[in-house]
Structure 1
Amino acid sequence: MKTDLSGAEWFKSSHSSGQTDCVEVAWLMGGQVGVRDSKNTSGPALLFAPGVWDAFANGLRAGGFGSQS
């Protein structure tokens, strides 16, 4: 299944230092979350179901995944 991302509004984290090694996120239809490489905006994007993205974000907030919050 192919998802049309042409109208997606991509953004970087407010914690991004403006360097080139970043990911961008977009809130999509149906609650999906898109993630792509900011250096290759025409390249592929990963799509996550809302619950999967929430679990990931909550894990980061809790200090998981070796994050440095």
Structure 2
Amino acid sequence: MAKNPLCCIIWFIALYFSFIVAFFCAYWYIIFYPFTVCIDACSGYTDLLLKGIQLPHYCANKMVNCEGC
């Protein structure tokens, strides 16, 4: 299957905006993560925030491999 260069461009744009999401999530992750020790309900939120922090890695991987849009 041929790789679509248009997908690389779309993933690059997504990568650009994913840094904004990652910085936002990183701030709140740092605030909430210590509370997961004593409040179990916080772990679900911190797991979601961690996925937001890892979003630039996900977008960069898709961009480099020119995977589907």
Tell me the TM-score range normalised by the shorter chain: under 0.3
More strand by share: 1
More helix by share: 2
Q: Which structure has the higher relative contact order (CA within 8 Å, separation 6+)?
A: 2
Q: Rg bigger for which structure?
A: 2
TM-score, normalising length: structure 1: 0.25
